[in-house]
Amino acid sequence: MSSTFTQPDRSSPVGSSPSYSPNTVKRAERALFCSPFQLTLFVAMRNASVPLPEIAGQTGFAAGYTTKVLSEGKTEKELMWLIKVGLLRREVDGQGITDSFRLTPLGRQLMEKWVAQGNSFPPPSFWEHLLNTLTLWLRLL
């Protein structure tokens, strides 16, 4: 499998964002659009980590984080897929991995783009749903 991360130009300023291949960005956006999460959740993750209990169930739906009420298990499964495509990471503290999630540099880049373009993500097409499902399924093999 080829690398999807391109090393940043060493002459660029410290702290500049890394660049990603078009396929990586496309796969991440497709996963994002097909997810049950709203832009509101990712905007919150730009500023701080968000714990799983705040995303799952009625709490997440009421906060505008999800498009429907999700069980904690389903929420975690969907968040784990977004980790695999490079949008999120689990928060770590002195005792190990926590139940909180935050954006990766790729996630931050995409959020900057989508916040500037409006209040929501575009609805995914049938083919985007199918391709996202196949990609997820193949990664589980």
Asked whether residue 82 carries a pLDDT value surpassing 70, the answer given is yes
pLDDT of residue 140: 61
Spatial neighbors of 35 by CB under 8 A, at least 6 apart, are 78, 81, 82
pLDDT of residue 11: 40
* Residue 12 phi, psi dihedral angles, 5° rounding: -75, 155
Asked whether residue 15 carries a pLDDT value surpassing 70, the answer given is no
Q: Ranked by mean pLDDT, which of 15-24, 33-42, 122-131 comes out on top?
A: 33-42
Give 87-120 pLDDT, tens digit per residue: 999 998 888 778 999 999 999 999 998 888 877 8
Confidence of residue 17 (pLDDT cuts 50, 70, 90): low
Q: pTM higher than 0.75, yes or no? A: yes
Asked whether residue 70 carries a pLDDT value surpassing 80, the answer given is yes
CATH of domain 22-140: 1.10.10.10
Average pLDDT over residues 44-69: 96
Task: Give 97's strand partners.
Answer: 92
Annotated domain spans of the chain: 22-140
Average pLDDT over residues 62-86: 95
Average pLDDT over residues 72-93: 94
